[in-house]
DNA sequence: GGGTCCTACATTTTT
DNA sequence: TGTAGGACCC
C-alpha cells in the first residue's frame, strides 16, 4: 500500500524522516500511532533490516498492537517491539554475568519487593523502625529510577530515618543478590550499568539497534533516558514521540525534561508537531483545552479539530456514589438502547480502582456487561501466586522469598518457629533456604518432626525441578498434583473455593497459551512474561462490554463515549497530590488525558456524599470543574440538595456554578434524596437548647454542617453530658474540637431515615 | 503448630 | 471497607 497518500504534510514529514534524531510532538488524538507504524514500514521499505529496528512502547498491549500493524504493512518483518522492561529483561538474560547476576534470575514484582523490604527492615531495626516498609519500598524504587546507588543515598541522608532507609536499601540489594533476583527497576538499572561499564557491548548494541523508536517519551525516567542515550551514540537515529501534556507518571520517576530537552540533547534533531486532532468533537476538545491551559509549567499549544461541534459535555451532580453509579448505568443503557452505540464503545474512568465498586454494582444490576481493567491483578491472587512461587522456586532454587511463601502451603507442620531456625542456620552458613532445608538435620534448634518436614519439602521441590524444562502447563499440573493444592484449597476456602479452583484452571490455560506462542520457552520465561504483564494487557476491546478503568490505564486509548466519575476534591486532584503545584499539574494532566480519550460524548459527574472506607463523607467539587468551559456545557444537579456554604479553598470562586454561595440549605426533599436537619429537629424538641437526645445524634462518623466551617465529619467524641466534646474534620482540611452542646453543628441525614447517618 | 478471632491500620496511579 | 498481623486457645 502507499504509505504516504493519506497523510497530512506534517505526518508525512515524520514518516519520511529516516536518519538522524526526530522528535514528534503529538497532541492527543493527532494520529501518532499511525505515524509511528508507517514510519517503521517506511524504514523497512527503504531496505533497513528489521533486526536493526527497536520500537519501545509503554505497555505490552501497545506493543502487540504495533506489531500487528507493522505486520499488516510489512508482512513477515520481525521488528522487536516491546516495553523498556521487556527489552531489558531480554538483554539481561544475555549479559547478566557482566553485572554479577545469574542468567536464570527471577524477576520480583512490587509485592515481592515489599515483602523483601519488610524482612530486611525487621532484621535491621526489629520493631524499632520508625519508617514504614511501604515508604522504604517507594524510596528504593525512586532511587533506582533516578540511578541513585545505596551508597549515594546514604551520603545524602539528612536524618535517622533517611539513614535507615539507605541502610535498608543496601541490605535489600544484598538480599536480592543472594536470591538471584532482580526487581522491576533493576531490569533498567542493570542494563544501564552494562552499557556504561562495557563500551564494547554498548557499541555493538548501538550498531545492532541502529533505529530506535520510543513512544510516550514524556513518561520516561532517568534510567530509561540513559538506556536510549547509550543506544544512540554512533547511530543517533532516534525517534521519540510524546506529548508533555499527557505526562502522568511523575510519581514513578518520569522526568518531563527528557522530552522538553530533547532538542538540546540531540542537536540537529528534526521536530515535527502534530497538532490537529482527528479524534474528538469540538466541544470535547474545548473542554480539554480550557482545562490544560491552567497548567503554568507548559508550552502553550492549541488543540484544533475539523470534527463537528458534537454534543455538549455533560456534568451531572448526584447525591451519593450509588446514585452516581446508577445514573452512569442508566445513561449507558439508554445510549445502547437508542442503537447508536455498543457497550464496547463506552468506558468509565476513575482516579482510583477503589472507586469502581459502586459502578460495578450498578452495571451488574442493570445487566450491563462490563470488564474491569486493573485492581487486584489475576496474577496477584493468592492461589495463583502460591503456584507461581512453586514454579519460581523450581526455576531458581535460591529464591528464598518463594521458599518462605510456599514451604508451609499446604500446611506441612513447618510454622514460624521452625522457619526462623532454618533462616538463622541458612544465614550463618550463607546458604539459600532450599539448600539448608536439604540438610535441615544440621540446623540448630529444629525438632525432628520439622527436620523431616523440611527435608521432605526439599525433596519434593528437587523432584519438581527435574521437570523444569517441560512445558509450563505440564509443570503447573504436576505442581498441583504433587502438592495436593486443589484439596488444600477446597478445605480452606469456604465459599470462594470454586472461584479459586477456576483461577488455577485459568493459570493452566495461560501457560498453555504461552507455550503455543513461545514453543522454545522455559519456566522462567513464562514467569517473566507474567511478572512484566500489566493489567491492561489482559484487556480485550472486542468483548462487547463496557470498560471500567483508571485514568492512568486509559492512556493511549480512545472510546466513542467516556464517563469520568468522582470529580471531587481529594480524589481528583487526589489528596496526596495537594501539596505542590507540580503534583497538582500532573493531576490536571490526568483529567486532560481522560477527557481527550472521548471521541463523541463525554459525561462528567460528581457526588455530594461519598462513602469511602466505610464512612460517609460530604465532598467538595473538584477545583478542575471550575476550569472547564461551563457555559458551553450541559449541567444538571440531580442530587436533590444544594451545596452548603463554605469558604472557597482558594481565590474567591464565588458566583461560579459549581460553588453556590447561597446555599445554606433550605431543606428540600426529594424521593430518596437528602435534607439537612438539626439535631433539635431530629429529636422533635424544636430548636431550643440542645437536649441529651440531640447530642446523641452527634456521633463519630456522622457528617455535620457548621455555619462557618462548612461540611465535616465527626472523627471522635470525648467525655459525657453537657461537656462532651467532639472533633470534626472539615472538608477544607482543618480539624476542630467543639463542646457539642454549645456548637452550631447540624447532622446531615437521609430523608425518611430513622436516625442520623451512621458509619459502618 | 495451627486455626480463629480481633484489632489496628492504611488508602493513588503501575512497569 | 478490606487486610495484615497479633493474641489467644486448642
Report the alpha-carbon distance of residue A583 to residue A250 in Å, rounded.
8
Strand B positions within 7 A of protein Cβ atoms: 1-3, 10-15
Report the alpha-carbon distance of residue A182 to residue A107 in Å, rounded.
5
Q: Which neighbouring-strand residues pair with A274?
A: A26
Strand B and A739 CB separated by under 7 Å: no
Strand C positions within 7 A of protein Cβ atoms: 1-2, 5
| Cβ-contact A588, A295 below 8 angstroms | yes
Strand B and A490 CB separated by under 7 Å: no
**Which nucleotide lies at the shortest CA–C1' distance from A615?**
C1
| Assigned C-alpha cell, A231 | 543506544
CA atom of A436 to C1′ atom of B13, Å: 41
Query: Of residues 542 to 561 in chain A, which lie within 7 A of strand B by their beta carbon?
Result: 549-550, 552-553
| Cβ-contact A640, A750 below 8 angstroms | no
Q: At what angle do helices A382-395 and A523-531 cross, to 10 degrees?
A: 140
**Which nucleotide lies at the shortest CA–C1' distance from A612?**
C1
Backbone phi and psi for residue A289, each to the nearest 5 degrees, phi listed first: -65, -50
Q: Is A28 annotated as belonging to a binding site?
A: yes
**Which nucleotide lies at the shortest CA–C1' distance from A613?**
C1
Using H for helix, E for strand and C for coil, what is the string for A194-228? HHHHCHHHHHHHHHHCCEEEECCHHHCEHHHHHHH
Strand C and A724 CB separated by under 7 Å: no
Report the alpha-carbon distance of residue A190 to residue A214 in Å, rounded.
20
Q: What dihedral do alpha carbons A671, A672, A678, A684 form, nearest 10°?
A: 70
Report the alpha-carbon distance of residue A488 to residue A492 in Å, rounded.
6
| Cβ-contact A504, A387 below 8 angstroms | yes
Whose CA is closest to A19, among A50, A42, A38? A42
Backbone phi and psi for residue A363, each to the nearest 5 degrees, phi listed first: -65, -40
Q: Is A688 annotated as belonging to a binding site?
A: no
Q: Which residues of chain A have pLDDT under 70?
A: 1, 127, 493-497, 578, 642-697, 699-701, 707-710, 715-725, 731-737, 748-760
Whose CA is closest to A247, among A295, A191, A184, A185? A295
Question: What was the pLDDT predicted at A718?
Answer: 60
CA atom of A127 to C1′ atom of C6, Å: 13
* Residue at shortest CA–C1' distance from B10: A613
CA atom of A28 to C1′ atom of B14, Å: 21
The angle formed by the CA atoms of residues A291, A629 and A241, to the nearest 5 degrees, is: 30
Report the alpha-carbon distance of residue A665 to residue A181 in Å, rounded.
60
* Residue at shortest CA–C1' distance from B3: A492
Cβ neighbours around A465 below 10 Å, total: 17
* DSSP 3-state of A479: helix
Catalytic residues of A: 32-33, 215-216, 246, 597
Instruction: Please name the residues in contact with A740: beta carbons below 8 A apart, sequence gap of 6 or more.
Output: A690, A695, A698, A717, A724, A725, A726
C-alpha distance from residue A527 to each of A16, A217, A391 (Å): 39, 28, 8
| Cβ-contact A537, A59 below 8 angstroms | yes
**Which nucleotide lies at the shortest CA–C1' distance from A111?**
B14
CA atom of A125 to C1′ atom of C3, Å: 24
CA atom of A138 to C1′ atom of C5, Å: 21
Strand B and A251 CB separated by under 7 Å: yes
Instruction: Please name the residues in contact with A286: beta carbons below 8 A apart, sequence gap of 6 or more.
Output: A629, A632
**Which nucleotide lies at the shortest CA–C1' distance from A759?**
C1
Report the alpha-carbon distance of residue A584 to residue A576 in Å, rounded.
9
Strand C and A614 CB separated by under 7 Å: yes
- Strands (E) in A453-597, as ranges, are 546-550, 559-564
Question: What was the pLDDT predicted at A660?
Answer: 35
Query: pLDDT by residue (tens digit) across A623-668?
Result: 999 999 999 999 999 988 765 443 333 333 333 333 332 232 322 2
CA atom of A492 to C1′ atom of B1, Å: 17
* DSSP 3-state of A538: helix
Strand C and A760 CB separated by under 7 Å: yes
* Residue at shortest CA–C1' distance from C1: A613
Question: What was the pLDDT predicted at A495?
Answer: 64
Q: Is A32 annotated as belonging to a binding site?
A: yes
The DSSP 8-state label assigned to residue A204 in this structure reads: H
CA atom of A494 to C1′ atom of B3, Å: 14
CA atom of A644 to C1′ atom of B15, Å: 43
Q: Which alpha helices (H) appear in A28-59, and where do they start and end?
A: 32-45
| Cβ-contact A100, A173 below 8 angstroms | no
Question: What was the pLDDT predicted at A753?
Answer: 31
The angle formed by the CA atoms of residues A19, A22 and A26, to the nearest 5 degrees, is: 145
**Which nucleotide lies at the shortest CA–C1' distance from A590?**
B13
The DSSP 8-state label assigned to residue A481 in this structure reads: H
Report the alpha-carbon distance of residue A471 to residue A113 in Å, rounded.
28
Query: Of residues 346 to 365 in chain A, which lie within 7 A of strand B by their beta carbon?
Result: 351-354
Length in residues, chain A: 760
Domains by residue range for chain A, with CATH: 9-95+188-274 (3.40.50.300), 106-179 (1.10.10.160), 304-375+538-637 (3.40.50.300), 378-532 (1.10.486.10), 692-747 (2.40.10)
**Which nucleotide lies at the shortest CA–C1' distance from A760?**
C1
Backbone phi and psi for residue A576, each to the nearest 5 degrees, phi listed first: -75, -10
Strand C and A118 CB separated by under 7 Å: yes
CA atom of A468 to C1′ atom of C8, Å: 43
Strand B and A414 CB separated by under 7 Å: yes
Report the alpha-carbon distance of residue A8 to residue A4 in Å, rounded.
9
Question: What was the pLDDT predicted at A722?
Answer: 58
Whose CA is closest to A391, among A463, A505, A455, A472? A472
Question: What was the pLDDT predicted at A720?
Answer: 58
Report the alpha-carbon distance of residue A337 to residue A653 in Å, rounded.
40
CA atom of A180 to C1′ atom of B3, Å: 34
| Cβ-contact A93, A103 below 8 angstroms | yes
Q: Which alpha helices (H) appear in A598-751, and where do they start and end?
A: 679-683, 692-697
Q: Which alpha helices (H) appear in A618-724, and where do they start and end?
A: 679-683, 692-697
| Assigned C-alpha cell, A607 | 457526588
Query: Of residues 152 to 191 in chain A, which lie within 7 A of strand B by their beta carbon?
Result: 184-185
Q: Which alpha helices (H) appear in A46-180, and where do they start and end?
A: 60-73, 84-95, 110-125, 133-145, 150-156, 160-178
H helix and E strand count, chain A:
28, 24
Query: Of residues 274 to 313 in chain A, which lie within 7 A of strand B by their beta carbon?
Result: none
Radius of gyration of chain A (CA): 29
Strand B and A413 CB separated by under 7 Å: yes
Query: Of residues 602 to 631 in chain A, which lie within 7 A of strand B by their beta carbon?
Result: 613
Strand B and A59 CB separated by under 7 Å: yes
Q: Which neighbouring-strand residues pair with A675?
A: A749
CA atom of A134 to C1′ atom of C3, Å: 15
Strand B and A109 CB separated by under 7 Å: yes
Whether cis (ω within 30° of 0) applies to the bond prior to A48 is: no
* Residue at shortest CA–C1' distance from C2: A613
Report the alpha-carbon distance of residue A527 to residue A755 in Å, rounded.
54
Strand C and A613 CB separated by under 7 Å: yes
Strand C and A126 CB separated by under 7 Å: no
CA atom of A79 to C1′ atom of B15, Å: 21
**Which nucleotide lies at the shortest CA–C1' distance from A122?**
C5
Q: Is A26 annotated as belonging to a binding site?
A: yes
Query: pLDDT by residue (tens digit) across A595-625?
Result: 999 999 999 999 998 888 777 888 889 999 9
Q: Is A31 annotated as belonging to a binding site?
A: yes
Query: What sign results for the dihedral spanned by CA atoms A583, A584, A588, A594?
Result: positive
**Which nucleotide lies at the shortest CA–C1' distance from A421?**
B1
Query: What sign results for the dihedral spanned by CA atoms A102, A106, A523, A432?
Result: positive
Q: Is A27 annotated as belonging to a binding site?
A: yes
Report the alpha-carbon distance of residue A606 to residue A97 in Å, rounded.
54
Tell how strand A746-750 and strand A703-706 pair up: antiparallel
Amino acid at each position: 500500500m502507499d504509505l504516504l497518500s493519506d497523510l497530512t504534510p506534517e505526518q508525512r514529514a515524520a514518516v519520511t524522516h529516516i536518519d538522524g534524531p526526530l522528535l514528534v510532538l503529538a497532541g492527543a488524538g493527532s494520529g501518532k500511532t499511525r505515524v509511528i507504524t508507517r514510519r517503521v514500514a517506511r524504514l523497512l521499505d527503504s531496505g533497513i533490516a528489521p533486526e536493526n529496528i527497536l520500537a519501545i512502547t509503554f505497555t505490552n498491549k501497545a506493543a502487540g498492537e504495533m506489531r500487528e500493524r507493522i505486520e499488516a504493512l510489512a508482512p513477515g518483518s520481525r521488528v522487536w517491539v516491546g516495553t523498556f522492561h521487556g527489552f531489558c529483561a531480554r538483554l539481561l538474560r544475555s549479559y547478566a554475568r557482566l553485572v554479577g547476576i545469574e542468567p536464570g534470575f527471577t524477576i520480583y514484582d512490587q509485592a515481592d519487593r515489599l515483602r523483601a523490604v519488610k524482612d530486611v527492615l525487621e532484621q535491621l531495626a526489629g520493631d524499632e523502625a520508625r519508617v514504614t516498609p511501604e515508604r522504604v519500598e517507594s524510596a528504593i524504587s525512586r532511587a533506582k529510577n533516578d540511578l541513585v546507588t545505596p551508597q549515594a543515598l546514604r551520603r545524602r541522608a539528612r536524618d535517622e530515618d533517611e539513614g535507615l532507609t539507605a541502610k535498608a536499601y543496601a541490605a535489600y540489594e544484598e538480599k536480592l543478590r543472594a536470591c538471584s533476583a532482580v526487581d522491576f527497576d533493576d531490569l533498567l538499572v542493570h542494563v544501564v550499568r552494562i552499557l556504561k561499564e562495557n563500551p564494547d557491548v554498548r557499541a555493538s548494541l548501538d550498531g545492532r539497534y541502529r533505529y530506535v523508536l520510543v513512544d510516550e517519551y514524556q513518561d520516561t525516567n532517568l534510567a530509561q533516558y540513559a538506556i536510549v542515550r547509550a543506544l544512540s551514540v554512533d547511530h543517533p537515529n532516534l525517534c521519540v514521540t510524546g506529548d508533555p501534556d499527557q505526562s502522568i507518571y511523575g510519581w514513578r520517576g518520569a522526568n518531563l525534561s527528557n522530552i522538553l530537552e530533547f532538542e538540546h540533547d540531540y542537536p540537529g534533531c528534526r521536530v515535527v508537531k502534530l497538532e490537529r486532532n482527528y479524534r474528538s468533537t469540538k466541544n470535547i476538545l474545548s473542554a480539554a483545552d480550557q482545562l490544560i491551559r491552567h497548567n503554568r509549567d507548559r508550552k502553550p499549544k492549541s488543540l484544533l479539530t475539523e470534527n463537528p461541534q458534537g454534543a455538549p459535555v455533560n456534568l451531572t451532580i448526584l447525591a451519593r456514589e450509588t446514585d452516581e453509579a446508577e445514573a452512569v448505568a442508566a445513561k449507558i443503557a439508554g445510549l445502547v438502547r437508542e442503537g447508536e452505540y455498543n457497550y464496547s464503545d463506552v468506558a468509565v474512568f476513575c482516579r482510583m480502582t477503589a472507586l469502581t465498586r459502586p459502578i460495578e454494582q450498578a452495571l451488574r444490576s442493570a445487566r450491563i456487561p462490563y470488564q474491569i481493567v486493573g485492581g487486584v491483578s489475576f496474577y496477584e491472587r493468592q492461589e495463583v501466586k502460591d503456584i507461581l512461587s512453586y514454579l519460581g522456586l523450581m526455576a531458581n532454587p535460591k529464591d528464598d522469598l518463594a521458599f518462605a511463601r510456599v514451604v508451609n502451603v499446604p500446611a506441612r507442620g513447618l510454622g514460624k518457629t521452625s522457619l526462623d531456625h532454618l533462616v538463622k542456620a541458612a544465614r550463618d552458613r550463607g546458604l539459600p533456604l532450599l539448600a539448608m532445608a536439604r540438610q535441615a538435620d544440621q540446623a540448630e534448634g529444629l525438632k525432628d518432626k520439622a527436620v523431616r518436614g523440611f527435608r521432605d519439602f526439599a525433596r519434593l521441590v528437587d523432584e519438581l525441578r527435574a521437570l523444569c524444562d517441560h512445558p509450563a502447563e505440564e509443570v503447573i499440573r504436576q505442581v498441583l498434583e504433587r502438592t495436593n493444592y486443589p484439596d488444600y484449597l477446597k478445605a480452606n476456602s469456604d465459599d470462594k473455593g470454586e472461584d479459586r479452583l477456576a483461577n488455577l484452571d485459568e493459570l493452566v490455560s495461560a501457560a498453555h497459551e504461552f507455550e503455543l506462542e513461545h514453543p522454545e520457552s522455559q519456566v522462567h520465561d513464562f514467569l517473566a512474561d507474567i511478572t512484566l504483564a500489566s493489567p491492561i494487557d489482559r484487556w480485550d476491546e472486542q468483548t462487547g462490554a463496557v470498560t471500567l478503568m483508571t485514568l492512568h490505564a486509559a492512556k493511549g486509548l480512545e472510546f466513542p463515549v467516556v464517563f469520568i466519575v468522582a470529580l471531587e476534591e481529594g480524589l481528583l486532584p487526589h489528596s496526596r497530590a495537594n501539596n505542590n503545584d507540580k503534583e497538582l499539574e500532573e493531576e490536571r494532566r490526568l483529567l486532560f488525558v481522560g477527557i481527550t480519550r472521548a471521541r463523541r460524548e463525554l459525561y462528567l459527574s460528581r457526588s455530594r456524599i461519598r462513602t469511602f472506607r466505610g464512612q460517609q463523607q460530604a465532598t467538595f467539587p473538584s477545583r478542575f470543574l471550575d476550569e472547564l468551559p461551563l457555559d458551553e456545557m450541559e449541567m444538571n444537579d440531580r442530587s436533590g440538595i444544594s451545596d452548603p456554604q463554605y469558604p472557597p479553598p482558594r481565590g474567591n470562586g464565588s458566583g461560579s456554578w459549581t460553588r453556590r454561595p447561597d446555599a445554606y440549605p433550605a431543606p428540600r426533599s426529594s424521593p430518596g434524596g437528602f435534607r439537612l436537619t438539626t439535631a433539635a429537629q431530629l429529636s422533635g424538641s424544636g430548636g431550643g437548647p440542645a437536649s441529651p437526645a440531640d447530642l446523641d445524634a452527634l456521633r463519630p462518623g456522622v457528617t455535620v454542617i457548621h455555619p462557618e466551617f462548612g461540611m465535616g465529619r465527626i472523627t471522635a467524641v470525648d467525655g459525657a453530658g453537657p461537656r462532651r466534646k467532639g472533633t470534626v474534620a472539615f472538608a477544607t482540611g482543618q480539624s476542630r474540637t467543639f463542646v457539642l452542646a454549645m456548637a452550631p453543628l447540624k447532622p446531615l441525614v437521609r430523608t425518611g431515615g430513622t436516625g442520623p447517618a451512621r458509619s459502618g
